[in-house]
Amino acid sequence: MKIIKKVLEIIFPNHCLSCEKIINRDGVFCEKCWSKLQFISEPKCQICSYPFEFQGLNLLCGKCLTKKPSFDKLITIFRYNHIIRKIVTSFKFRDQTFLAKKFAPLLFNKSRDEIMDCDFVISVPLHLKKLQQRKFNHSVLLAKTLLKLAPKKVFYSDFLIKTKNTKAQIELKKRDREKNLRSSFEVNKKYLTLLRGKKILLIDDVTTTGTTLESCAKILKKHGAKKVVALTIAKTAFTNS
């Protein structure tokens, strides 16, 4: 088996996602790029993952203590830096299936308990116009690939509907983000009766301040969802104001 593995490595070398350097078959990044990644780990806010310098008595950050978000928890792997930006951008232009396969095990390891605990999985929707431009929704692909690792879980790609074609959140100033998304998500009518008392895992590729996830979670809770856990590859903004 070892010989077959070696031969495969020569014929189909595995490249670092960021710099293209050849790495071993099961790896995702080379050592150099790995050392530049900023993983989000403890100590952090138990709801929004805002990183703390020290583990104090508070389990929540000031922002979540002042106004609890509609989602119960945000699980995210990386801080969005130049390496993650490069990869997530190429997620849109390169072999997307390949990249989803690379991210799925990382997401699975980080959220195993929440995946097993949820009643079903959904993804952040794109407006129909944006979907036509981009050809596919990255979050749907990510969710489908992730659920190959938890095949018993049900995934609904059309659970939420984006009713307004809003500007990309990343282009907007903080105060305009909430306004931009206000009432722009709806629950697909055919699933309304499914929501009461349910625990939902909500998947998006990248989150900025969490405003999109907040809008989605808010509408899910409004229709009776008991728990909403959001899962993303990276988070861009870590301001806590």
Binding site for Zn ion (CB under 5 A): 16, 18-19, 21, 30, 33, 45, 47-48, 50, 61, 64
Q: Judged by CB, which is closer to Zn ion: 20, or 171? A: 20
| Helix axes of 138-146 and 96-117: crossing angle, nearest 10 degrees | 60
Q: Judged by CB, which is closer to Zn ion: 19, or 161? A: 19
Smallest separation (angstroms) from Zn ion to the CB of 63: 5
Distance from C-alpha of 99 to C-alpha of 207, rounded to nearest angstrom: 18
Q: Judged by CB, which is closer to Zn ion: 48, or 213? A: 48
Smallest separation (angstroms) from Zn ion to the CB of 94: 15
Smallest separation (angstroms) from Zn ion to the CB of 1: 27
Smallest separation (angstroms) from Zn ion to the CB of 22: 10
Backbone Cα Rg of the chain: 18
Distance from C-alpha of 231 to C-alpha of 197, rounded to nearest angstrom: 20
For 95-132, the DSSP string reads -HHHHHHHHHHHHHHHHHHHHHH-SEEEE----HHHHH
Distance from C-alpha of 213 to C-alpha of 95, rounded to nearest angstrom: 26
Parallel/antiparallel/unpaired status of strands 155-156 and 120-123: parallel
Q: Judged by CB, which is closer to Zn ion: 18, or 236? A: 18
Q: Judged by CB, which is closer to Zn ion: 22, or 128? A: 22
Smallest separation (angstroms) from Zn ion to the CB of 217: 14
- Residue partners of 7: CB distance under 8 A and separation at least 6: none
